[in-house]
Amino acid sequence: MCPDAIGPSPVILWFVRVTVSVPPKCMMKPWKIDSPTPLLYMDFVSTHTLLPKIKIEIRKRKEMHLPLLITISVIAIALAYKLYQRLRFKLPPGPRAWPVVGNLYDIKPVRFRCYAEWAQAYGPIISVWFGSTLNVIVSNSELAREVLKENDQQLADRHRSRSAAKFSRDGQDLIWADYGPHYVKVRKVCTLELFSPKRLEALRPIREDEVTAMVESILNDCTNPGADSKGKSLLVKKYVGPVAFNNITRLAFGKRFVNSEGIMDEQGQEFRAIVANGLKLGASLAMAEHIPWLRWMFPLEEEAFAKHGARRDRLTRAIMEEHTLARHKGGGAKQHFVDALLTLQDKYDLSEDTIIGLLWDMITAGMDTTVISVEWAMAELIRNPRVQQKAQEELDRVIGLERVMSETDISSLPYLQSVAKEALRLHPPTPLMLPHRANANVKIGGYDIPKGSNVHVNVWAVARDPAVWKDPNEFRPERFLEEDVDMKGHDFRLLPFGAGRRICPGAQLGINLVTSMLGHLLHHFCWTPAEGVKPEEIDMLENPGLVAFMRTPLQARATPRLPSHLYKRVAVDI
Ligand code: HEM
């Protein structure tokens, strides 16, 4: 816990004064002065010769004991501070925290699974210490409601690591902004302008172009005559990834950096390098982030961050200028986010940093999440051939075998929608959402959450809680036909997009894209495991990280099931 979050204790202040200024008596050896003279007489006779000697002796002893004293004082302060916190706050229970590092070394790499295990032992609300920072994790739907509804406003800040602070210019974007007037303003821009139903509809052709391009490329790779590819297994991510990448770059920047031959242009390569470098820089500080006084050992690579920021700004400005020029040349504003933000800049008083920050937020938040959702859904569909077949029967019944699916069909495909929902229930791409930070002292589940603590909702554990889900680990989309469960923040049993003030603004876009990708993959192909792998042998564990990719990327075999003329990309130029 950072001290300013809770406020200095008078006990600690007293302790610091007493322990650091003079060594305690018990730690000093008795004075030994080489003179048999009684002290009184000594004062009288040779004050001017003995006094300096005594002073030197005192200084020497003080110096000798100083490191030891500092160590003891630090430990004592830490203990007193902990005790003070314990007495002042009733914190949630949790695993025993070690001095300095807290629970950092006990946390297993796949955090949400580790927290779920701890929740079994300590209860649905637990304290986990990252160094000196208190993290509270809640793992059931009632507590999720308390966090995301009843105390939503007090728990709507973000913890910005040093790298997040650098990337976001101290929260001038949306993702890393604390809750306040700036956040309210940019959130309004997102809700009313960027993710409005009208704009989502206007950008639909881009999504359909990319999804049909995926189908074409899968067909090429699984049937290409001559190549030894027939019946060969495909790496599913290789086909789903480009849909998400191209969709997001076109939506945000109006750019498809990759041509129809799959070659990426120079700007695209620069874009990719910036994304990769951002990930590298972001990860490099992780440990030191949680132990403030250790940070001097891990100085922020100021120069590397400055270079990264300048590179990102240069590319984004160049793209912004291209769009401004195109608008001035005529043809009016396009629908891409960059155009929307530039034309709304004055209306909403948006700084250039905010525009750049928002554009990159969409890239960061909107790319991996959709890929992860589709990859897990496909793994479940391959493990559950019954579900796959049922979804295909629905697609054949509603769409037939003579045309391809469109997003407008989704409303007539309830089983397909349930498949997407069930995949997001069992495999939320951000299993701990993004941490929220308390901007005031609050109470959750009867426990104190002091200002400055981070609060995580383990949406993965909530969605598998046997108290609210029947057969929670079973992939059974029918459950959503039997009971309509909202997944956009109204039902606290299912929260893949979060809920409340900070709910994902791209939720509808994400749902559309994921459902459309799944629909196309199932309508056009039958999917079976890679050769020699049984469905039940597919590795269903996750990679560590903020987002939960499959630990072993999914390999599968695709067999076409529609007439060959339906596998062509439907390219659009918007
Ligand atoms: C299946 C796809 C997606 C899932 C599961 C998902 C999930 C989430 C979650 C759990 C959060 C954190 C909510 C919180 O802090 O309480 C979030 C935030 C966010 N998401 Fe998504 N997301 C998806 C797709 C997208 C897309 C496509 C975009 C944009 C193009 C997007 C943009 C954002 C942004 C900007 C935030 C930050 C909101 C804030 O801090 O106020 N997401 N998302």
Give the three-state DSSP class for 189: helix
- For residue 396, report the distance from its CA to the centre of ligand 1, in Å: 32
Give dist(CA 458, CA 141) in Å, integer.
Answer: 10
CB-based contacts of 527, cutoff 8 Å, min separation 6: 378, 381, 382, 388, 521, 556, 557, 558, 559
| Residue 133 phi, psi dihedral angles, 5° rounding | -100, 130
Cα separation, 75 vs 68, in Å, equals 11
Ligand 1 centroid to Cα of residue 330, in Å, is: 34
The pair of structure tokens assigned to 241 is 């990834």
Separation CA 519–CA 516 (nearest Å):
5
Sign of the alpha-carbon torsion through 59, 61, 63, 69: negative
Annotated binding site for heme: 504
Report yes or no: 353 and 493 within 8 Å, Cβ to Cβ: no
Spacing, Cα 296 to ligand 1 middle (Å): 33
Evaluate: CB of 510 within 6 angstroms of ligand 1. Answer: yes
Task: Compute, in angstroms, the gap from residue 429 CA to the centroid of ligand 1.
Answer: 10
For residue 264, CA distances in Å to 6, 242, 267, 272 come to: 51, 11, 8, 10
Query: Which helix (DSSP H) or strand (DSSP E) does residue 466 occupy?
Result: none
pLDDT of residue 75: 76
The helix/strand count (H/E) of the chain reads as 21, 9
pLDDT at 286 (0 to 100): 65
Here the tokens at position 284 are 């490099």
Residue type, 30: P
Specify whether the backbone of 108 is left (phi greater than 0), alpha (psi in -120 to 50) or beta: beta
The whole-angstrom separation of Cα 433 and Cα 439 is 18
Atom of ligand 1 nearest to the CA of 435: 15
pTM, full prediction: 0.86
Determine the length of the chain: 574
Amino acid at 217: S
φ, ψ at 557 (rounded to 5°):
-105, 135
Kindly give the distance from the C-alpha atom of residue 430 to the centroid of ligand 1, in angstroms, as a whole number. 9
Test site for ligand 1: of 370, 459, 504, most ligand atoms within 8 A of the Cβ: 504
Give domain limits for the chain: 3-88
Q: What Rg do the C-alpha atoms of the chain give, in angstroms?
A: 30
Helix axis angle for 352-366 and 181-188, nearest 10°, is 70
* Consecutive H or E run containing 137: strand 133-138
Please answer whether residues 380 and 538 qualify as being in contact, where contact means their C-beta atoms are separated by less than 8 angstroms: no
- What would the DSSP string read from start to end of 386-428? HHHHHHHHHHHHHT-SSS---GGGGGG-HHHHHHHHHHHHH--
Tokens 């009184």, located at residue: 40
pLDDT at 53 (0 to 100): 74
Distance from residue 291's CA to the centre of ligand 1 (Å): 28
Q: What atom of ligand 1 comes closest to residue 496's alpha carbon? A: 5
Q: How far apart are the CA of 528 and the centre of ligand 1, in A?
A: 31
Atom of ligand 1 nearest to the CA of 361: 35
- Is the beta carbon of 434 within 6 A of some atom in ligand 1? yes
Alpha helices, H only, 432-478: 459-462
Rounded to whole angstroms, the Cα distance separating 409 from 466 reads 34
Task: Quote the longest CA-to-CA distance of the chain.
Answer: 117
From the CB of residue 286, how many other CB atoms can be counted at a distance below 10 Å? 13
In Å, how far are 155, 395, 396, 399, 417 from 391, measured between CA atoms? 40, 6, 9, 12, 10
Q: Best of 421, 497, 508 to mutate for ligand 1, by most ligand atoms within 8 A of CB?
A: 497
Cβ-based neighbours of 52, under 8 Å, separated by 6 or more: none
Annotated binding site: 504
At residue 225, the 3 state secondary structure works out as: coil
Task: Encode the chain (574 residues) as per-residue pLDDT tens digits.
Answer: 333 333 333 333 333 333 333 333 333 443 343 433 333 333 434 445 666 777 777 777 777 778 888 888 877 887 787 677 667 899 999 999 998 889 999 999 999 999 999 999 999 999 999 988 999 999 999 999 999 999 999 999 999 988 889 889 999 999 999 999 999 999 999 999 999 999 999 999 999 999 999 999 999 999 876 555 556 899 999 999 999 999 999 999 999 999 988 899 999 999 999 998 888 887 665 666 777 777 777 776 778 888 999 999 999 999 999 999 998 887 666 789 999 999 999 999 999 999 999 999 999 999 999 999 999 999 999 999 999 999 999 999 999 999 999 999 999 999 999 999 999 999 999 999 999 999 999 999 999 999 999 999 999 999 999 999 999 999 999 999 999 999 999 999 999 999 999 999 999 999 999 999 999 999 999 999 999 999 999 999 999 999 999 999 999 999 999 999 999 998 898 8
Tokens of residue 572, six digits: 């659009």
Beta strand pairing call for 454-457 and 133-138: parallel
Beta carbon of 357 within 6 Å of any ligand 1 atom: no
- Residues linked to residue 134 through DSSP beta bridges, in sequence order: 129
- C-alpha–C-alpha distance, residues 522 and 516, integer Å: 10
Query: With the C-alpha atoms ordered 90, 96, 102, 105, is the resulting torsion angle positive or negative?
Result: negative
For residue 28, the surrounding DSSP H or E stretch is none
pLDDT value of position 249: 96
Ligand 1 site, residue 548, Cβ cutoff 6 A: no
